[in-house]
């Protein structure tokens, strides 16, 4: 292996443990367990879990997960991001749910449920469909 654990650990500022983090994710992709990857890289297993899942502790700064996303499936069972964006665009154009469903080759009930699940209401009482929030929730 060409990766070596640093002998001297000093504060590194905003880039702290960047090389270790990159190596940790490389090892995880190779099939190492969290414990094995953390041992090789030289960090605590809890640090590895935080890198992979994000920090959720209420008394610490919240950090997003840094794990690479899993590849999207090509299953037609679930709506894809481009379909959700199409729904949002057509709703802004005041298209009907049946028209949107026909364009996407989906059932009108699928489109209706998607809109109902992933809309937000603003203070004026109007609702908006949020395709990116919907996709992140689905992922």
Q: What domains sit in the chain, N to C, each tagged with a CATH number?
A: 1-68 (1.10.10), 81-138 (1.10.10)
Give how far the C-alpha of residue 75 lies from the chain's centroid of Cα atoms, to the nearest Å: 18
Model-wide pTM > 0.85: no
Local confidence band at 70 (pLDDT 50, 70, 90 cut-offs)? low
Query: How far is residue 43's CA from residue 14's CA, in Å, rounded to a whole number?
Result: 17
- Residue 74 pLDDT more than 80? no
Q: What is the pLDDT of residues 94-121, one digit of tens each?
A: 999 999 999 999 999 999 999 999 988 8
- In a 3-state reduction of DSSP, which class is residue 52? helix
Q: Is the dihedral of CA 33, 34, 35, 36 positive or negative?
A: positive
């Amino acid at each position: 292996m060409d990766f070596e654990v640093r002998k001297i650990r000093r504060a590194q500022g905003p880039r702290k443990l960047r090389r270790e983090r990159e190596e940790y994710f490389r090892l995880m992709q190779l099939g190492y367990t969290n414990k094995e990857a953390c041992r090789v890289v030289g960090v605590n297993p809890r640090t590895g879990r935080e890198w992979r899942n994000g920090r959720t502790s209420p008394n610490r700064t919240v950090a997003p997960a840094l794990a690479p996303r899993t590849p999207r499936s090509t299953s037609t069972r679930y709506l894809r991001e481009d379909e959700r964006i199409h729904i949002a665009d057509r709703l802004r154009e005041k298209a009907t749910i049946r028209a949107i469903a026909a364009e996407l080759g989906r059932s009108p009930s699928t489109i209706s449920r998607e809109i109902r699940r992933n809309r937000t209401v603003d203070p004026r009482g109007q609702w908006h469909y949020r395709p990116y929030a919907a996709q992140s929730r689905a992922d």
